[in-house]
Structure 1
C-alpha cells in the first residue's frame, strides 16, 4: 500500500469512527457496533482533539464504552426517550432515570434490585422529590421502564432474575451488575453550574469560550436545516463568510454534503445513517406530513418563496382531512390515526417542526399557530398514484 493509500485508509477509518459517535453518542464495546468501537479506540486521541476543536464536544473513551458528550440543543428542541412499547417517557419516568443514576454512581459492582429501589427512594428524599407508594403497580411499571433504559445503555446488566418481574410483584428480586464509570459519563450537562433544570438546559446549549463558529457548526450538525432568519447577526455574518469552507470541512470530517441556499444551509448524509428520523419516510405520519407540506406550499406560496408564511391550525386540520379522504384508506394509513384527527395533526406537526418545515412564529398574531418557512418549498412532494396492473396494461377489470 502506498503512503497516499495508507493516509486515505486512515482518513476513512477516522471518518467512520466520528460518524458513529455523532450518530449514537454512546458506543458499547459489546454492542451492535463493535467494529466502529475498535476504530474509535484506535483513533481516540485524534477524535478527542477533532471534536473538541470543531464542535466543542468532549469524547470519553474507556475499555467498555465510548461517549461523545454532546451539548443539548436547547429547550423544546430535543426528542424524548420512549419505552419499548413506543410510549414516550413522562416526567415521572425521567425522574426515576435520573434518581437511578444518582444512586448508581456510588453503588457496588453488583446490587440487588430491592436495595437499588431503596437507594432510589432515598435519593428522592434527598432531592425533595415526592414518589408514589411502591406498592402501586403503575409506579413499579414507571420505575422499571427507567431501569430498562439503563440496561439498554449498559449501565445495568441483569445477572440473575428479570426486571419485568418487579412490575407484577413488589417483592420480586434480581441481581444487577453496575458500570459506575458509564453511569458517571452519561450526564453531559454542567450539573455543578446549574441552578435548576431550565438553567442546565440553557447552559448545555451555550458554546462557552468556543464562540460563534462552534455555535453555528453545532446547529449545522444537529439540526435538519439552519435558517438564516433564526441566526443572530454575528452568526449569520460568520456563516455567510465561511459557508463554502465549512461545507468542505463537514464533508472531510463526517462525510456530509451541504446544500447552500438563500434561506439557509442544510447538511445531507448520502449514507442516510446519522439520524434515526428519516424524512421523507415511511408510515402514516411521515406520508401525511410530506403531503401536508406540498398542499400548504401550493396554497400559500405558489411561487418560490422568500420568507415564512403564517398558517393556523384550522387550515392544517382542513388540509389533513382532505388528505385522509383522498389517501387514507388507499395508502393503508393507521386506522387509529385517521379516526383521531387531533392526534394525527399533533404527530404530523411535531414531525414537521422537528424537521424545521413548520415553526412557531417569532411574534404572536391572533389565530396564527405556525409558520411555513421558505425552505419548505424544497421538500414539496409530487404525488403520482399507481394504477392497478390491469388498468396499466389495458386489460378489462
Structure 2
C-alpha cells in the first residue's frame, strides 16, 4: 500500500482543523476570535458541507463573512447550556431576553441605539404575551446585559460606540450598535416555523431524519462524553455493534478522536481536550471537588464481575449510590481540602450547595445520572429497562445493566476512568499487564 503524499497529509490536517473548529464553535466569523482558522473553513467548504451532512446530518452554511454549523440537538435534557464569562449558566430569564433580542435584530436597521433596541425588545415581549419586569431591578438589567453580550460575542451585534453592558448601569447608559442581520437570522437552528411550542421544537430538532439510528448514534458519539448501551434502542445498539470499529476509524480521520470501546458503551476521547465545554481535571472548587468525589465513589462502589457478556462477564452500566453517601464524602473532602486548597467560601459555609453542584457537574460529564432516568426524546428505552430485540435476538442484554429506582443517583461506568489506580510491581520487576489505557476495565 502506497503511503500518502505530503500534500494528502496536509489536506487531511487542514480539513480536520476546520471540522474540529466548527464542531466546537458552530458559528465562526471572519473577524471573530477564530479569524485565523476561518480561511480553512472557506477553502474546504464543499468538502465540509458534504461530510457533516453525510456523517451527522448537520447542515453547514459557509458565507464570505461567517460559517454556521446547524447542529440538530439530542432531545430533552441533552442541551449544552450557555454560560456567562464567569461560568454562571444563563437563567431562563436570560434566554428569554436573548430570544426577544434576536426577534428584533432580524429586521433591525444596520445601526441603532441601545435604548432603541431595548424599547423594541420590550415591544416584542408584549406582542408575545411576556411580562417583563419594568422596576429597573439590577437582576433584570444583568440578565438583559448578559443576553446582549452573547450577541456581541456571536457577531450579531458590534459595539460601534459604547458598550451593551451600560444597560446594566444604575442610570441606563447609551451605545451605538451595528447589526449583522444575516448572522442574527442564522443563530436559531431549530425548525421554528414547524414547531408548536418549545418542547416540540426540541423534539423536532433532534429528529435524525432519514439517517435514523446511524445518525442519532453518531451524534451521541461526538456530542456526549460517553454513550451507554442501555440508553440506545435495539436498532441503535445493533447498528453500533456491527459498525463500532469502522466508526472509530472514521472519527479518528475526520476529527482526530480516539474511541474507547468497553462492554458498557463507547466514549470518544479527544487527545487535545478541545472538543468539550467541561474539563476534568479542571480548575475551580466544583471541578476539583467533583474529581475527588468520583474517585471516592468508585473506590466505595466498584462492582465485582463486570465485563462483556460474551466472555462470561456481567454487563454493568451503573451502580446505585446509597442515600447520604455523597453528603458524607463531600463533608470529608471539605474537612480535608476546603481550607488548604482555598475552596470558595460559599461552599465551605454551605456543603449542600457543593454537593448539588458537584453532582450536576458529574452528571453533565455522564459519570453519574439520576436513578431511573433514560432518554426522553421519543425514540427511547422504556423506563423499566425491559429491552429485547423484536426478532428475539438481543444485541446485548441491558435489562439489569443499570439500577432503576434504588437510591436517587447512579454511578456510571465511565467514572472508573477518573479513579486512582494502583500498580503493584511483580517480583521479577516486569511491568504489570494492563489494558491499552493503563487501566483495569470496569
Helix, strand or coil for the counterpart of 1:35?
coil
For 1:128-143, list aligned pairs within 5 A: 128-133=129-134, 135-143=136-144
Q: Does 1:381 align with 2:420?
A: yes
Runs of 4+ with >6 A deviation: 364-367
Aligned to 1:329: 339
Give distance in 2, aligned partners of 1:37 and 1:315: 48
Aligned to 1:100: 101
For 1:217-296, list aligned pairs within 5 A: 217-296=218-297
* Deviation by residue 1:28-61 (Cα, 9 ceiling, x = unmatched): 2112222210100111111011100100001111
Give distance in 2, aligned partners of 1:12 and 1:340: 48
Give distance in 2, aligned partners of 1:382 and 1:323: 19
Helix, strand or coil for the counterpart of 2:260?
strand
* Deviation by residue 1:104-151 (Cα, 9 ceiling, x = unmatched): 001111111122112111211221111121644443332222111111
Helix, strand or coil for the counterpart of 1:118?
helix
Work out whether residues 360 and 371 of structure 1, in 8 Å CA contact, stay in contact via their aligned partners in 2.
yes
Aligned to 1:387: none
Give distance in 2, aligned partners of 1:3 and 1:381: 41
Between 301-310 and 233-242, the greater mean CA deviation after superposition: 301-310
Q: Does 1:315 align with 2:298?
A: no
* Deviation by residue 1:335-394 (Cα, 9 ceiling, x = unmatched): 3223211110111101111111101122696671111122322321259xxxxxxxxxxx
Q: TM-score, normalised by structure 1?
A: 0.91
Work out whether residues 19 and 274 of structure 1, in 8 Å CA contact, stay in contact via their aligned partners in 2.
yes
* Deviation by residue 1:11-40 (Cα, 9 ceiling, x = unmatched): 110111000000111112112222210100
Work out whether residues 304 and 377 of structure 1, in 8 Å CA contact, stay in contact via their aligned partners in 2.
no
> Structure 1: any 5+ residue segments left out of the alignment?
384-397
RMSD: 2.1
Q: 1:341 aligns with which of 351, 364, 373?
A: 351
Work out whether residues 290 and 381 of structure 1, in 8 Å CA contact, stay in contact via their aligned partners in 2.
no
Give distance in 2, aligned partners of 1:171 and 1:283: 33
Q: TM-score, normalised by structure 2?
A: 0.82
> Structure 2: any 5+ residue segments left out of the alignment?
307-314, 373-382, 385-403, 423-442
Q: What is the total number of aligned residue pairs between the two structures?
A: 383
Sort the Cα spacing of 1:177 and 1:304 in 2 relative to 1 into closer, same or farther, 3 A: farther
Work out whether residues 94 and 146 of structure 2, in 8 Å CA contact, stay in contact via their aligned partners in 1.
yes
